[in-house]
């Protein structure tokens, strides 16, 4: 698994440091439950031989055992199963069971080969050659080859592509099949995120999708009714709003999984999901809310679950749609942040399980910098900034207005997430204190995602969270080119930031890249396109008999082919 020395970022994302290890609570490359040493026996005959048989039998329980069903709980349902179109975490969890990609990120957030066996980068950084494994099959038995990689990665660079992920593929000039298992990428610019980010997208089967017009691929039934990948589990059934079922892929290239099947159970209400976890109707809940963690720990033993925790590679936020004129003045956005008591939210809603966020990057990242403008809780300063922006209560109704329009807006978030629902209540109360009327709108998750993204953008403000790339790259979310079809759904634009984001991609020296991003973070923090709320602590409830599970700061599903259930 040797990577080229010509690019510092290709060797490692270098995110192993004390904070991460302390957050994980155990060694990142060790299973979550320690295995005992094999039982030893004495030599002998007669009765001692019978004792050998009896003492050897328990030793087999420490070897991986095949079979069993794992029920994984989520309050959000998926939307589709195709990584170059999906945007939500639920879809991503299931995609990670069904599909494979050239590389993935390990728990230390370093590049790890998956489909790739070798990746070489030219000295000038403009040519990347990927060699694939020659023993991989799709779930229908067809081999996965260079043709499939070329086909998949050609989709987002096509003029016909209609989807949110094009930004991660913009540096690709051409893709060429060298031989049956080798692909050459020519880049139009040095892109240090190409290997850890772009090559993380999952490979689709050309033989199934080659005749589908690219403009229609995002809505094709492959993505919902019959996704076929090369991952450790095979799609079996999706009952919308109820569950997704996947079954073991006996021909998986890293070895057949031990689990017979995984059921991704959708329980839209968090309290109901916790009740099912306690009752044993759900085995694995990767997102136990911070507000409930003490309660869950109280009954975890009796329910047969253990809690793994660590800082998540994520930040949660309030986003403001800048297509709405009232949010276009950065003084207004700064005022909104001043008006939100984030420390109070962490204490009261998260039970202390988080850290205030000031920048769109996790403290887990080597590129993290908090040397940025900070907008502390200060309602009086919020009022002053709003007055400077022309918002005053001219009619005496208690709410600010400007040019005859009251400062009132709707804030959306997803149903069933009690923490976000609670934050909307707090937001309503705190903004009313400075003269702004807020109306919460709690929506079913898939409808919520559809409403806030292209081509709808049907929202004023929203509460959501970003799972971060393992490689620090803000281009996809904050570059102005990503507004119409990309992930910049708040329609934020800053020409100076665009230039810095573009220049950073060409930097191959780690220190230079970190310095460039320190300046980028300052601009984003100053502009406040979001109110950055907090970095959450991830609490994952797993079955006490689940073996070879490893906590990951970003992924709910990491190496699931290794998971097995220890039988008593």
In three-state secondary structure terms, 94 is helix
80-114 per-position pLDDT tens digit: 999 999 988 899 999 999 999 999 999 988 899 99
pLDDT digits (tens, 9 = 90+) for 362-371: 999 889 999 9
The pLDDT value given to residue 510: 82
Distance CA(241)–CA(445), nearest Å, equals: 10
Residue 519 burial (C-beta neighbours within 10 Å; 0-12, 13-18, 19+): middle
User: How do residues 189-216 score in pLDDT, each as one tens digit?
Assistant: 988 889 999 999 999 999 999 999 999 9
Find how far residue 470's CA is from the centre of its chain. Answer: 9
Structure tokens at 21: 């290890």
Query: What radius of gyration, in Å, describes the C-alpha atoms of the chain?
Result: 25
CA 230: distance to chain centroid?
21
For the chain, what percent of residues have pLDDT higher than 70? Answer: 89
Closest CA to 529 of 380, 324, 364: 324
d(CA 400, CA 451): 27
What is the per-residue DSSP string for 460-475? SEEEEEEEPPSS---H
Enter the pTM of the model.
0.76
For residue 100, give the nearest of 157, 148, 44 by alpha carbon.
148
The neighbour count for residue 224, using CB atoms within 10 Å, is 16
Closest CA to 419 of 353, 336, 335: 353
Question: b/e map of 227-236 (b: 16 or more CB within 10 Å)?
Answer: bbbbbbbbbe
pLDDT given at position 426: 96
Examine the pLDDT at 454 and tell me if it is beyond 60.
Answer: yes
Q: Cα–Cα distances in Å, from 323 out to 291, 407, 490?
A: 34, 15, 7
Q: Which residue has the tokens 């993505």?
A: 223
Of residues 48 and 431, the one with the higher pLDDT is 431
Residue 165: Cβ-neighbour burial (10 angstroms; 0-12, 13-18, 19+): buried
DSSP secondary structure, 266-314, as one string? E-SSHHHHHHHHHHTS--BBTT--GGGHHHHHHHHHHHTEEEEEEE-SE
Q: What confidence score (pLDDT) does residue 486 get?
A: 79
The predicted model gives 18-24 an average pLDDT of: 28
- The DSSP letter of residue 36 is P
pLDDT at 48: 31
Confidence tier at 61 by pLDDT (50, 70, 90): low
Q: What is the pLDDT of residues 155-189, one digit of tens each?
A: 999 999 999 899 899 999 999 999 999 999 999 99
Looking at the chain, the whole-number percentage of residues with pLDDT higher than 90 is 76
Q: Which of 10-24, 91-105, 294-308, 327-341 shows the lowest per-residue confidence on average (mean pLDDT)?
A: 10-24
Output the pLDDT for position 33.
26
Contact (CB, 8 A) for 59 and 40: no
Q: Which residues contact 367 (CB under 8 A, 6 or more apart)?
A: 361, 472, 513, 514, 517
Helix (H, G, I), strand (E, B) or coil at 119: strand
pLDDT (tens digit per residue) in 425-444: 999 999 999 999 999 999 98
215 and 162 Cβ atoms separated by less than 8 Å: yes
Query: What pLDDT is attached to residue 119?
Result: 98
What band does 268 get if pLDDT is binned at 50, 70 and 90?
Answer: confident
Phi, psi of 74 (to 5 degrees): -150, 145
Query: Please, are residues 204 and 154 in contact by the beta-carbon 8 Å criterion?
Result: no
> What does the CA dihedral 444, 450, 456, 462 come to, rounded to 10 degrees?
50
The predicted-structure confidence for 456-499, as pLDDT tens digits, reads as follows 889 999 999 998 887 888 988 999 999 987 789 999 999 999 99
Neighbours of 10 (CB within 10 A): 22
Span 450-461, average pLDDT:
88
Of residues 375, 419, 351, the one with CA closest to residue 524: 375
Q: What is the DSSP code string of 344-360?
A: HHHHHTSTT-EEE--SS
């Amino acid at each position: 698994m040797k990577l080229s020395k010509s690019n510092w970022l290709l060797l490692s994302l270098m995110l192993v440091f004390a904070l991460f290890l302390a957050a994980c609570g155990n060694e990142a490359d060790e299973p979550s439950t320690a295995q005992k040493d094999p039982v030893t026996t004495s030599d002998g005959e007669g009765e001692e031989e019978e004792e050998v048989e009896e003492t050897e039998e328990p030793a087999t329980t420490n070897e991986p055992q095949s079979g069993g069903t794992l029920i994984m709980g989520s309050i959000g349902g998926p939307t589709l199963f195709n990584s170059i179109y999906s945007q939500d975490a639920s879809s991503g969890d299931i995609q990670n069971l069904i599909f494979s990609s050239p590389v993935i990120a390990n728990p230390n957030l370093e590049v790890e080969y998956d489909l790739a066996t070798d990746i070489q980068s030219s000295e000038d950084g403009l040519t990347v050659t990927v060699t694939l494994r020659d023993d991989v099959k799709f779930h229908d038995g067809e081999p996965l080859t260079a043709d499939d990689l070329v086909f998949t990665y050609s989709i987002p660079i096509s003029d016909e592509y209609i989807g949110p992920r094009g930004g991660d593929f913009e540096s690709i000039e051409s893709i060429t099949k060298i031989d049956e298992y080798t692909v050459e990428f020519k880049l139009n610019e040095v892109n240090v995120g190409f290997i850890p980010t772009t090559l993380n997208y999952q490979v689709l089967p050309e033989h199934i999708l080659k005749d589908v017009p690219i403009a229609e691929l995002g809505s094709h039934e492959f993505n919902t009714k019959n996704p076929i990948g090369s991952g450790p589990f095979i799609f079996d059934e999706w009952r919308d709003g109820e569950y997704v079922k996947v079954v073991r892929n006996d021909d998986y290239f890293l070895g057949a999984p031990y689990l017979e099947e995984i059921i991704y159970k959708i329980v839209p209400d968090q309290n109901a999901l916790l009740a099912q976890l306690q009752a044993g109707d759900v085995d694995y809940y990767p997102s136990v809310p911070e507000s409930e963690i003490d309660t869950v720990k109280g009954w975890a033993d009796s329910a047969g679950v253990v809690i793994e925790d660590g800082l998540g590679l994520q930040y949660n936020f309030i986003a403001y749609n800048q297509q709405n004129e009232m949010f276009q003045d950065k003084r207004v956005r700064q005022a909104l942040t001043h008006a939100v008591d984030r420390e109070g939210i962490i204490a009261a809603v998260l039970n202390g399980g988080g850290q205030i966020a000031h920048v769109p990057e996790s403290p887990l990242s080597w590129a993290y910098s908090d040397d940025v403008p900070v907008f502390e809780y200060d309602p009086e300063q919020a009022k002053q900034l709003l007055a400077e922006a022309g918002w005053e209560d001219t009619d005496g109704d208690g709410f600010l207005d400007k040019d005859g329009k009251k400062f009132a807006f709707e804030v959306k978030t997803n149903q069933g997430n009690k923490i976000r629902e609670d934050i909307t209540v707090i937001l309503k109360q705190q903004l009313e204190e400075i003269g702004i009327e807020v109306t919460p709108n709690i929506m079913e998750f898939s409808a919520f995602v559809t409403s806030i993204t292209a081509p709808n953008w049907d929202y004023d403000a929203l509460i959501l969270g970003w799972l971060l790339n393992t490689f620090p790259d803000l281009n996809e979310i904050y570059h102005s080119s990503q507004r119409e079809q990309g992930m910049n759904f708040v329609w934020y634009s800053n020409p100076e930031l665009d230039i810095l984001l573009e220049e950073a991609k060409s930097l191959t020296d780690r220190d230079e890249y970190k310095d460039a991003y320190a300046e980028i973070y300052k601009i984003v923090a100053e502009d406040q396109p979001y109110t950055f709320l907090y970095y959450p602590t991830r609490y994952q409830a797993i079955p006490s008999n689940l073996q070879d599970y490893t906590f990951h700061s970003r992924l709910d599903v990491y190496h699931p082919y290794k998971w097995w259930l220890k039988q008593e």
